[in-house]
């Protein structure tokens, strides 16, 4: 017997009603399961690091393929030994994430040395990279008893790094600490980090500055000549005050990682950090911060230095950090319970200091163009003009309280 049209209509209505309910339930489930705005990683990013052979380049090269595989981005690492050139590429947008020490960035912010003619940019911290130890060293067969013997050794040859404003400032810091004039020593210039370190084993210098975590340091430490570590004793309080006059962002410390023979010796720590522009996509910065934190276990064994990117190390550094942190990193740190009200105060101070230099820079450049003064780091007329515009501004300095 055929069903009546009324029964068929009712059956169709019931089925349609159930189908509609099912579709609604499925739709709601999709809405609940899908984020309001799913972040899409960009096609590529570029890291700019110090030269091949440095700890920072080695670390970033180990991190890059893991980040690339996990996010689908093409991650490129470009080494550049000259700090000012690396900063210039960063300021022009050729580099997404810059690996640089707090010391060199302080000089970039304040426009000193090789950064005196480089365009200002509102750089911000993305994350801590590593707490790089630095120490003075001599060849293993040196006749110098300790670092203070430099005072009584006229003409002693000290390697100086033309490629690094930060390392050059450290040499001046050493001379300040020892209270000797440049005329009492022979400063031997080198154009790369590798040649600077190898100078003591090649007989080209009696003293050099190096990081015990770098590959080239491990290299010369294993040679027959070896290395004699020239400690800067932590007990020399007056000496350190003079040293820090030119290196206000470093922290006197004992070496705890690096070449085996360096452990326990004393120098200073200059933290290397990953930097982005203030104007970098805030979602990218937020998700990079989240990735670095939550994916720590996936990359920490790729290089020993990568263990220094752990949240607790980053948080510890923030207690003395003088530089502004990107607002999206701050957002993530707050969500992770790693940002305090006191951090907000320090952040405001850091932003104010950096913005003051950037404002002074714009005025100085306009003034220089009006007076037809060439903006060159080697032009004393420009250096004097910039000094007059930046006079009285507060430079960044690590908080040691």
Check if the beta carbon of residue 247 is closer than 8 Å to that of residue 102.
no
What's the pLDDT at 162? 86
Assess whether pLDDT exceeds 80 at residue 1.
no
Q: What is the band of 34 on the pLDDT scale with cuts at 50, 70, 90?
A: very low
Q: Three-class SS of residue 14? A: helix
Which positions ≥6 away from 114 have C-beta within 8 Å?
82, 83, 84, 107, 165, 377
- Cα→Cα distances 24→12, 27, 259, Å: 18, 5, 64
Which positions ≥6 away from 68 have C-beta within 8 Å?
74, 75
Q: Three-class SS of residue 71? A: helix
Assess whether pLDDT exceeds 90 at residue 289.
yes
Check if the beta carbon of residue 309 is closer than 8 Å to that of residue 292.
yes
| Distance separating alpha carbons of residues 293 and 87, to the nearest angstrom | 26
Query: What is the radius of gyration, based on Cα positions, of the chain?
Result: 27
Bridge partner list, 76: 46
| Distance separating alpha carbons of residues 55 and 129, to the nearest angstrom | 10
User: DSSP character for 382?
Assistant: H
Q: What domains does the chain contain, in order, with CATH numbers?
A: 44-132+271-390 (3.40.190.10), 133-269 (3.40.190.10)
Q: Three-class SS of residue 297? A: helix
Write out pLDDT tens, residues 357-373.
999 999 999 999 999 99
Assess whether pLDDT exceeds 60 at residue 272.
yes
Assess whether pLDDT exceeds 90 at residue 342.
yes
Within 10 angstroms of residue 9's Cβ, the number of other Cβ atoms is 11
Write out pLDDT tens, residues 232-245.
999 999 999 999 98
Q: What is the largest CA-CA distance in the chain?
A: 120
Phi, psi dihedrals of residue 254, rounded to the nearest 5°: -95, 140
Cα 398 → chain centroid: 14
What's the pLDDT at 163? 87
Query: Looking at residues 339-350, what average pLDDT do you find?
Result: 97
What's the pLDDT at 20? 52
* Average model confidence (pLDDT) across the chain: 91
Assess whether pLDDT exceeds 90 at residue 27.
no
Phi, psi dihedrals of residue 193, rounded to the nearest 5°: -65, -40
Write out pLDDT tens, residues 315-341.
999 998 999 999 999 999 999 999 999
User: DSSP character for 159?
Assistant: E
Query: Looking at residues 21-43, what average pLDDT do you find?
Result: 62
Q: What is the band of 31 on the pLDDT scale with cuts at 50, 70, 90?
A: very low
The four Cα atoms 114, 78, 195, 111 give a dihedral, to 10 degrees, of 10
| Distance separating alpha carbons of residues 72 and 307, to the nearest angstrom | 23
Check if the beta carbon of residue 312 is closer than 8 Å to that of residue 127.
no
| Distance separating alpha carbons of residues 255 and 237, to the nearest angstrom | 18
What's the pLDDT at 157? 97
């Amino acid at each position: 017997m055929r069903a009546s049209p009324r029964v068929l209509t009712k059956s169709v209505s019931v089925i349609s009603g159930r189908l509609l309910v099912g579709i609604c339930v499925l739709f709601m489930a999709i809405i609940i399961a899908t984020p309001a705005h799913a972040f899409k990683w960009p096609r590529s990013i570029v890291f700019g690091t110090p030269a091949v052979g440095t700890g920072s380049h080695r670390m970033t090269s180990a991190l890059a393929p893991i980040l690339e595989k996990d996010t689908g981005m093409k991650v490129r690492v470009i080494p550049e030994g000259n700090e000012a050139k690396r900063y210039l590429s960063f300021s022009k947008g050729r580099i997404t994430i810059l690996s640089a020490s707090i010391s060199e960035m302080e000089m970039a912010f304040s426009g000193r040395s090789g950064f005196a003619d480089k365009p200002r940019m509102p750089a911000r911290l993305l994350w801590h990279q590593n707490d790089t130890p630095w120490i003075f060293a001599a060849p293993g067969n040196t006749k110098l008893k300790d670092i203070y013997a430099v005072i009584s050794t006229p003409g002693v040859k000290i390697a100086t790094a033309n490629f690094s404003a930060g390392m050059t400032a450290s040499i001046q810091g050493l001379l300040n600490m020892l209270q000797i004039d440049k005329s009492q020593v022979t400063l031997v210039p080198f154009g790369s980090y590798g040649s600077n370190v190898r100078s003591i084993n090649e007989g080209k210098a009696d003293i050099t500055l190096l990081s015990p975590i770098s590959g080239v340091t491990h290299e010369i430490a294993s040679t027959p000549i070896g290395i004699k570590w020239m400690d800067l004793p932590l007990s020399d309080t007056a000496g350190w005050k003079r040293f820090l006059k030119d290196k206000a962002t470093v922290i006197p410390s004992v070496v705890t990682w690096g070449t085996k023979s360096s452990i326990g010796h004393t120098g200073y720590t200059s933290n290397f950090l990953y930097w982005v522009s203030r104007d970098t996509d805030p979602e990218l910065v937020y998700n990079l911060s989240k990735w670095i934190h939550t994916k720590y276990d996936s990359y920490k064994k790729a290089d020993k230095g990568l263990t220094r990117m752990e949240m607790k190390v980053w948080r510890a550094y923030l207690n003395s950090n003088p530089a502004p942190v990107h607002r999206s990193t701050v957002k993530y740190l707050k969500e992770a319970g790693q940002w305090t009200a006191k951090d907000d105060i320090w952040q405001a101070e850091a932003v104010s200091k950096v913005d003051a230099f950037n404002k002074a820079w714009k005025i100085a450049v306009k003034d220089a163009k009006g007076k037809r003064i060439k903006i060159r780091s080697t032009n004393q007329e420009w250096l004097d003009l910039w000094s007059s515009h930046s006079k009285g501004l507060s430079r960044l300095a690590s908080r040691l309280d």
